[in-house]
Amino acid sequence: MKGNVIKYERDNIDTDVIIPGQYLKVHDYAELALHAMEGLDPDFHSKVKEGDFILSGRNFGCGSSREHAPIALSHSGIKAVLALSFARIFYRNAVDGAFLLPIEIEEDAYSNISEGDELDIDIRINEIKNLTKNKTYKMKPFSEIIGKIIEAGGLFKYKPD
């Protein structure tokens, strides 16, 4: 999975900036995408491209349970969010709804990867290649159930053992 990075070098990117509360009444996925990241980066919509990744710090997606958050990012074209850690509801919404991959990274990747870098992510071997900088980083492997739900394509397609 290849894509370019949009980097937000900060912790605690919360659901209120990913998709502000006034849009909670909206359930049209394309319209939600128009307002993704509006609370932090009003230029996000114009710069994001299909297949891009977001890179950020700790506790990404903290705050509300709104599934609007991963939906708005996913329908903007974001395929994965790489972060030092994730808030729990954002994480499970992303996985159970099969909207995007929440990938936990280590400090080396966070500090080394720059805005615009092209990455190639292989979740089978837990590896992130930085094609721009010619470097490789480890991603934290998914837990067993998360791996299985991702492989199935979301919670509704997952068959518990």
Partner 1 sequence: MNITEKILARASGRQRVVPGDVIFANVDKVMIHDVSGPGVIKVFDKLKKQGINVDKLWDPTKVWVAEDHFVPSADMVSAENIVKLSNFTKNYGIEKHFKYGMGQYGICHTLSHEEALVLPGEVYVGGDSHTNTTGALGSFACGLGHTDVAYVLLNGKIWFKVPETLYFKLNGKLPEHVMAKDFILKIIGDISTEGGAYKTMQFGGSGIDEMSVESRLTLCNMTTEAGAKNGIVEPDQKVVDYLTSRGATNISLVHGDDDAEYQKIYEYEGSEMEPIVAKPFSPENISIVREAPSVELDKSYIGSCTGAKYEDLEAVAKILKGRKVKIRTEILPASISIYKRVMENGLLKIFLDAGVTVGPPTCGACCGAHMGVLAKDEICISTTNRNFPGRMGHVDSQTYLSSPLVAAASAVTGKITDPRDLN
* Residue 141 interacts with partner 1 (CB under 8 A): yes or no: no
* Residue 43 interacts with partner 1 (CB under 8 A): yes or no: no
Q: Distance between CA 82 and CA 92 in Å, rounded?
A: 15
In the bound state with partner 1, the residue whose beta carbon lies nearer, of 47 and 88, is 88
Find the binder of partner 1 among 65, 122, 141, 152 (CB under 8 A): 65
As measured in angstroms, the least distance from the Cβ of 92 to partner 1 is 7
Q: Which two tokens stand for residue 50?
A: 């299909």
Instruction: Scan for tokens 């500090």, then name that residue.
Output: 111
Taking CB under 8 A as the criterion, which residues in 15-34 touch partner 1? 16-17, 20-22, 24-27
Helices (H), 15-138: 15-18, 29-34, 44-47, 68-74, 88-96, 107-112
As measured in angstroms, the least distance from the Cβ of 73 to partner 1 is 13
As measured in angstroms, the least distance from the Cβ of 104 to partner 1 is 12
* Residue 74 interacts with partner 1 (CB under 8 A): yes or no: no
Q: Distance between CA 16 and CA 26 in Å, rounded?
A: 14
Q: Distance between CA 81 and CA 91 in Å, rounded?
A: 10
Find the binder of partner 1 among 1, 34, 40, 123 (CB under 8 A): 40
Q: Which two tokens stand for residue 157?
A: 């397609």
| Alpha carbon separation from 13 to 26, 29, 121, 130, 137 (Å, rounded) | 21, 21, 22, 24, 23
As measured in angstroms, the least distance from the Cβ of 82 to partner 1 is 17
Which positions touch partner 1 (CB under 8 A)? Answer: 12, 14, 16-17, 20-22, 24-27, 39-40, 58-59, 62-68, 85, 87-89, 92-93, 96-97, 143-145, 154-156, 160
